[in-house]
Structure formats: C-alpha cells, structure tokens
C-alpha cells in the first residue's frame, strides 16, 4: 500500500488519506479500514443514457469520480475486490446527488477515505500495510489426484495463486495413460510453485494431501530440480513440510493449521501466532463465555 496524501487535523483527527493498493493484502486492509458513515472517493464506470431529438436513446459507459457515503462494504477474496455501496454525496455531471452507487476498489487504482475521526488503530493498520516486510510467510499446496491449489498465507488472508486441474484416468494393465497424466499433474504443480513462490520471503511450504500423493510429488520435485538445476528448489528443499489433508480443495488448509505438530514447525510465523490466539479465544468461549467478546464495541 502506498500513501500519496494524508490530511488529518491535529485538533479532532478528522481528514482524508489518499491510498494506492498494490498487493492483494492491501485490499483486505482497505476493507478493514472502512466503516459505515465514512466517505470514499475514487473513479468508477457509470452507464449514461442520452436521448436524441428524434427520441432514440444511446447508452455508453463513462469514467467519472464519485464520493459516496458508506452504507455497506463487501470483500471478495476470489476476485480481489472491495465493493462499497452508498449514496452519492457530491454533485456530479453523470450521477445525481443522493443516488445510490457501488464503487469497486481494485489493485493499482487510487482511492481516498474521509473519516470524521481517524482512530490510532486505523493509522496503525495503514502503517502495517505500507511496511515492505508484510509479505506472506507461508506457501501451501493442497492436492488430490487431478486437483491442487497453491496458496500464499499472510497474517490476514489466504490468496489462491494457482488452481491445477488435470483429468487422471484410472490405472489399466498395459496402459501408461495414468502415469503420463500423473506426471503432467506433478509438472503443473512444480511450475506453479516455481512461478509464484518467492523463497527469499517464504519461511515454509506446506505440502498436504491424503495418502502418499504429497510424498510422490515431493520426490518428483527433488529429482527434477537436480536434473534441471533449479536452484530455488535445491536450496530451499528444507522449507517443504509434508502434512495430511483430506482433499485438494482450499478449505483443507483448515485441517493443516489445526495440527499441533505443523503449527510447531511454523512457530516463528505471524499466522501461527494468530491461530494460537484464536484457539485460546475459542477455548475461553467454551470455559468462560462471559469473558470472551469480539466486534466493534469490544
């Protein structure tokens, strides 16, 4: 996240901040910065209908700048977008004052947040988003025959970087189609990891599956990396942690993070610390629910 302009009153902490989200986690920070009643200003596309003197109409989309009062905020982790709905509060050539509109915050597009009071918590979150050391510490691969997901796990969000789907036929005597398809599947995962995982920042790569699929892929990775002299794999093979998961779907990561032995291996990561605190919170709900609270008022 980049801060281009910050105008906050020293008297009452009101003001605006102009931001530019650069990586997916920045949008998650933006989602958490917004509250009902805030004002958001950014460019958007608006459908404009014009009527000619003959009565015929033409419609076209124009890009315009709008300022809306936040009524509702949604975050879509798949499309990596924050959608903000509310009424327009500034007169516009294309949008009437008070007309409802939905703004979409996206990567590499500036937007301004205007608040009546910038709480220190919000300012700390912006500082965290602007910190260059905020990158993901954990990569995770969950797989089953023919399906795999490669994700990057940060302290706030899990981002899917690749989804691999390959049809793998059943084993048949005298046919090599099964082994050939499995090799293509392993190769697709291999290339995805090579393309999306920055081993300079990643502390460990969780490799999870049911059965021995994870072991077979890890062996394939070791053999191929030596044969091709792919240094990222050769120099960081100790970062791969093999673990159990029931499927190759993204939600199987919950099983991985619930394994105490795996969390012990990741004890120095931000994710492990947050999972530990969440577990403590959930245990407190069970043992003494009057002490456990969460939400805006707590």
Reported as a single tens digit per residue, the pLDDT across 110-156 is 999 999 999 898 998 888 788 644 556 889 999 999 999 999 887 66
Cα–Cα distance for residue pair 178/173, rounded to 1 Å: 10
pLDDT of residue 28: 86
CB 130 within 8 A of CB 3: yes
Closest CA relative to residue 17, chosen from 96, 119, 103, 88:
119
What's the chain look like in SS3?
Answer: CEEEEEEECCCCCCEEEEEECCCHHHHHHHHHHCCCCCEEEEEEEEEEEEECCCCCEEEEEEEEEEEEECCEEEEECCCCEEEEEEEECCCCCCCCCCCEEEEEECCCCCEEEEECCCCHHHHHHHHHHHCCCCCCCEEEEEEECCEEEEEEECCCCEEEEEEEECCCCCCCCCCCHHHHHHHHHHHHHHHHHHHHCCCCCCCEEEEEECCCHHHHHHHHHHHHHHHHCCHHHHHCHHHEEEEECCCCCHHHHHHHHCCHHHHHHCCCCHHHHHHHHHHHHHHHHHHCHHHCCCCCCC
Residues with pLDDT less than 70, the chain: 131-136, 155-157, 265-275, 292-298
pLDDT of residue 112: 95
Cα–Cα distance for residue pair 173/197, rounded to 1 Å: 38
**CA 28-24-232 angle, 5° bins:** 135
CB 248 within 8 A of CB 141: no
* pTM passes above 0.75: no
pLDDT of residue 160: 86
pLDDT of residue 152: 86
The span from the first CA to the last CA of the chain, in angstroms, equals 27
* Residue with the two structure tokens 């099983």: 255
105 forms beta bridges with 82
Query: 11-44 burial by CB neighbour count: b if 16+ within 10 A, else e?
Result: eeeebbbbbebebbbbbbbbbbbbeeebbbbbeb
């Amino acid at each position: 996240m980049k801060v281009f302009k910050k105008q906050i009153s020293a008297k009452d902490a009101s003001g605006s901040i102009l931001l530019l989200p650069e990586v997916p986690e920045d949008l998650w920070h933006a989602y958490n910065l917004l509250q009902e009643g805030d004002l958001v200003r950014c460019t958007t596309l608006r459908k404009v209908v014009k009527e000619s003197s003959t009565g015929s109409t033409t419609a076209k989309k124009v890009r315009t700048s709008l300022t809306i009062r936040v009524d509702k905020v949604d975050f879509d982790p798949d499309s990596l977008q924050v959608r903000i709905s509310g009424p327009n509060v500034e007169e516009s050539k294309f949008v009437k004052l008070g007309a409802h509109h939905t703004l979409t915050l996206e990567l590499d597009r500036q937007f301004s947040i205007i608040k009546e009071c910038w709480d220190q918590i919000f300012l700390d979150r912006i500082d965290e988003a602007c910190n260059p050391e905020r990158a993901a510490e954990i990569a995770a691969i969950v797989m089953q025959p023919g399906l795999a997901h490669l994700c990057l796990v940060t302290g706030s969000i899990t981002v899917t970087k690749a989804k691999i789907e390959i049809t793998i036929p059943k084993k048949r005597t005298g046919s090599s189609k099964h082994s050939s398809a499995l090799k293509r599947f392993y190769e697709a995962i291999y290339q995805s990891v090579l393309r999306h995982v920055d081993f300079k920042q990643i502390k460990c790569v969780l490799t999870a599956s049911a059965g021995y699929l994870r072991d077979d892929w890890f062996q394939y990775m070791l053999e191929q990396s030596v044969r091709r002299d792919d240094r990222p794999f050769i120099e960081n093979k100790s970062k791969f942690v093999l673990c159990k998961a029931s499927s190759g779907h993204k939600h199987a990561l919950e099983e991985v993070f619930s394994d105490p032995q795996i969390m012990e291996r990741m004890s120095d990561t931000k994710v492990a610390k947050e999972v530990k605190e969440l577990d403590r919170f959930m245990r407190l709900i069970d043992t003494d629910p009057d002490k456990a609270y969460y939400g805006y008022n707590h």
